[in-house]
């Protein structure tokens, strides 16, 4: 089995690696990644690989599978995994030092329901079958503020359509941001998509973080710098 990136090239715009990992962190990566890393199958020639149901990545039987796109250092993902041991938490993050942060938490907390895809979330999403996810999170995605970089934004019409395909009827999509203009962009794109309903009817619903939405590292820093965040929750409309 080859890693998809080996043949397709990268579609990731941010950093893939920061400073070198310490010996201890590298040792934890070496111990855990063979067990928890998702590596996508690749077929030879023109044929595309058949979809891989999320349960194939886990050894135990779980009641649902949730996806976090761009989990950073993994605080939210690890907290959700600990709070919901019956759910398979799948995270996608191309930044090695971020993945190492999550692996440290898997190691410390003994989390058996976490799997990691260390690459562009879109490659993983394309490989999953329809209606295979019970929840998805995109928390504080890079805002790419310059107009010429907007096409890099992970919240886009194309990616929303893919999430609409993957999420089960009634499943939630949560998006957090502290960037006003990106928030407007997200709302415009989400409201433009007929497959999702916004779950807010008053500002209190989106101006404060719900209790079952653990804080992320990015959000904590942003709050300390005096910025406010929006906590957007959408639900996949039932297919008719």
**Is 146 labeled as ligand-binding?**
yes
Among 103, 46, 39, residue whose Cα is nearest residue 77: 103
Cα–Cα dist 151/165, whole Å: 21
Give the nearest distance from C-beta 237 to ligand SAM in angstroms.
25
Give the nearest distance from C-beta 16 to ligand SAM in angstroms.
8
Q: Which residues bind ligand SAM (CB under 6 A)?
A: 12, 14, 69-72, 92-95, 98, 120-122, 139-142, 154, 216-219
Q: Which of 64, 107, 126, 142 is catalytic?
A: 142
Strand ranges for the chain from DSSP E: 64-69, 87-92, 114-117, 133-139, 167-177, 196-198, 230-236
Instruction: Specify whether the CB–CB gap between 193 and 160 falls below 8 A.
Output: yes
**Is 178 labeled as ligand-binding?**
yes
Q: Which is nearer to ligand SAM, 132 or 222 (CB)?
A: 222
**Is 142 labeled as ligand-binding?**
yes
The number of C-alpha atoms within 13 Å of 227 and in the hemisphere containing its C-beta is: 14
Give the nearest distance from C-beta 32 to ligand SAM in angstroms.
19
**Is 217 labeled as ligand-binding?**
yes
Q: What is the dihedral of CA 56, 105, 11, 234, to 10 degrees?
A: 80
Q: Which is nearer to ligand SAM, 44 or 213 (CB)?
A: 213
Q: Which is nearer to ligand SAM, 158 or 238 (CB)?
A: 158
**Is 195 labeled as ligand-binding?**
no
Sheet with 196-198, side-by-side order of all strands? 114-117, 87-92, 64-69, 133-139, 167-177, 230-236, 196-198
Active site residue 142: yes
Cα–Cα dist 37/94, whole Å: 12
Cα–Cα dist 194/47, whole Å: 31
Q: Which is nearer to ligand SAM, 71 or 206 (CB)?
A: 71
Give the nearest distance from C-beta 21 to ligand SAM in angstroms.
16
Known binding residues for S-adenosyl-L-methionine are 68, 93, 120, 142
Binding residue ranges: 68, 93, 120, 142, 146, 178, 216-219
Q: Enumerate the active-site residues.
A: 142
Q: Which residues are annotated as a binding site for substrate?
A: 146, 178, 216-219
């Amino acid at each position: 089995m080859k890693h998809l990136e080996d043949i397709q090239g990268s579609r990731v715009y941010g950093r893939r690696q920061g400073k070198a990992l310490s010996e201890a962190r590298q040792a934890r990566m070496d111990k855990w990644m063979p067990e928890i890393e998702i590596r996508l199958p690749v077929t030879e020639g023109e044929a595309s690989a058949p979809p891989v149901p999320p349960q194939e990545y886990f050894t135990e039987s779980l009641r649902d599978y949730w996806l976090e796109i761009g989990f950073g250092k993994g605080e939210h993902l690890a907290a959700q995994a600990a709070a919901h041991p019956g759910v398979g938490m799948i995270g996608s993050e191309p930044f090695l030092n971020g993945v190492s942060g999550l692996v440290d938490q898997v190691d410390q907390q003994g989390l058996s329901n976490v799997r990691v895809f260390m690459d562009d979330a879109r490659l993983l999403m394309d490989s999953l079958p329809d209606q295979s996810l019970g929840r998805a999170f995109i928390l504080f995605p890079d805002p790419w503020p310059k107009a010429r970089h907007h096409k890099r934004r992970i919240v886009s019409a194309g990616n929303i359509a893919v999430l609409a395909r993957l999420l089960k009827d009634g499943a939630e999509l949560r998006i957090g941001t502290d960037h006003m203009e990106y928030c407007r962009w997200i709302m415009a794109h989400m409201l433009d998509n007929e497959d999702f309903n916004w779950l807010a009817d008053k500002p209190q619903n989106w101006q404060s973080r719900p209790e079952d939405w653990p804080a992320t590292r990015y959000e904590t820093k942003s709050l300390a710098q005096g910025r406010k965040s929006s906590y957007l929750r959408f639900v996949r409309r039932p297919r008719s």
